[in-house]
Structures are given as structure tokens and as C-alpha cells.
Amino acid sequence: MAVGARSGHEEPEKRPDGTEGAPETGVPQAAGPPEQPPEDPSQRGSRGVKQKKQRSFWKELPILIGIALVLALLIKTFLVQAFSIPSASMQNTLLEGDRVLVDKLTPWFGSEPERGEVVVFHDPGHWLDDEPTPKTNAIQDALSFIGLMPSSQEKDLIKRVIAVGGDTVECQNTGPVKVNGKALDEPYIFPGNTPCGDKPFGPIKIPKGKIWVMGDHRQNSLDSRYHQDLPGGGTVPVSKVVGRAIVVAWPINRWSTLPVPGTFDQPGLSAAGAVAPPVAGLAGAVPLVLWRRRRLISKASQVG
């Protein structure tokens, strides 16, 4: 074989550093694309999907207002409602222009007015015939409907419950007011007034399902005393009661709760409570008497 000739099978040439490499062709090799990192499976399918634009505040505002109005209407109907004090009949407990919050929830569960509570009730019949109805505009009517403003169209009154169904109430001469024979200590009465005001009454037996109400300003309150000639004899049906006034909410400097005075918690005031001990004693004595009688009859038969 001639010097310098190669065989048909080329072997890789040895480089000066002793390593073997591919034969040089004189043409530079093109660089390959860089390796891509593995794709996150959670991001698959997100390509090409545009992010949703957030709604502007002005587009969401009507929705928020609508939700607020619905909530206000529900609260007014089932929970609490604001009422404005139109007169001085409850002075000084409540002043003209005060705003009170009335609990409308507990009556839904069968709760009835109790002695000493301040309650709002619908006109039971011709109590407010001589009272003018104030004029309002559409905005006031709308706000009153949803409970954001006291209603001026509804003929409602606010008084204190003095007696409930089953009680006997009276007030002779200048007082005091007596419920089931127990005299009431009434420090909430307007200074200078007497418990009977200028209208003594009674004794009156309050029918079941009715209440007897009086204003704290006794000489400036057309309450149960002044409507005894009407159907019901001055009493108010429990079904007419809207709810109990629980707090003075406005003005801020008048904020206060409206608790039941302690005089209504005195022992023996409740007519049911006064009758209960004798009835319970009689119920317990009857079985004992019957047992003793049977025993005596049994002994007599044995002797005979």
C-alpha cells in the first residue's frame, strides 16, 4: 500500500492531547436551541386565556345599594325599627324628637308585653282621630318603607305598660297607682305630676289579651284613662303592639336603654302569682285527704 493512502474505513484521528474526535470537515456546526425548563402541569391550558377585567366600582355600586336596601327592609320587618317621638306624653323618659329602636323580633316567638315596658302600638281605634297626619315627600316615604327613617304615616303611639291581662288596676284621688292591690313607686313620672294625673280611675279588670297603658307625663298623656268610653274600655289589644322600645338611639347625647323599673318586680304584684300558692296547696291537699279517707273506710270495714 502506498504511503499516505487511507483505507475505505476511516478511524477517528487522534488529537495531540491524546483524545479521539470526529473528523474535521471544515464546516462549523450550528448551535442547537437552548433547553426549555419542564412545564408546570398547573399552568397547562392557561395559555391564550385572557385575564378577566375587574368590575369598576361604579358598576358594582348599584348592586351594593340594592343588597343594603334589602337587608334594611328585612331588619325593619323582623328585627328592629326606628320610631320618632311625636309628643311630650312620655316626658322625661322620652323627649319630643327622640328616636327609639323597637324590638320586633321577640313578638314573632310569642313574647307578649310585660308590666313596666315601654311599647309602641298601632292606634287601637279612634285614639288619634284628632291628630293631623304630617305631609311627606316621595323620598321620605321610600326611606320610611325600608326602615331608614321613622314613618310619619303610620298612626302609632308609645306608652308604658301598667297592667296586663288578668290584672286589676286602679288609681284613686292623687294616687298611687295600684296593680292587684300593690302600690307602684313611679320615680319616672314627670316632676310635678301625680300618679293619677287629673283622671282617677278604677278598679278595672284587664281582659286577657289586653294591656293598660299610661304615659309618664300623666297630665299630658291621652292614654288608657281617657278612652274608657271606647270599645275595649281603654285597653289595647296585644295584637296591636308593634314591639318594645329598648333604646334611645338619637340624639347621641340622649343615648340610653329603657329598662323595666324595679317597682314592677315587687313580690305579689302578679295576679297569677298571688293565686298560685293557694291553688298549689289545694291541689296537694286533695290527694292526701282522699288517701286518709280510704284508710279510715278500710279500718272500719275490718272492725265490722
Active-site positions read 89, 159
CA end-to-end distance (rounded Å), the chain: 162
CA 125 to centroid of chain Cα atoms: 28
Helices (H), the chain: 57-78, 138-146, 271-303
Beta bridge partners of 241: 121
Maximal CA-CA distance, the chain: 163
* CA count, 13 A, side-chain hemisphere, 173: 2
Does residue 301 sit in helix, strand or coil?
helix
User: What Cα–Cα distance (Å) separates residue 169 from each residue in 165, 211, 214, 236, 286?
Assistant: 10, 11, 12, 14, 33
- Determine the Cα–Cα distance for residues 268 and 275; give it in Å rounded to an integer: 9
Does residue 51 sit in helix, strand or coil?
coil
Residue bearing cell 340610653: 256
CB 145 within 8 A of CB 136: no
Q: Which helix (H) or strand (E) holds 31?
A: none
C-alpha cell at 154: 303610620
- Determine the Cα–Cα distance for residues 45 and 259; give it in Å rounded to an integer: 65
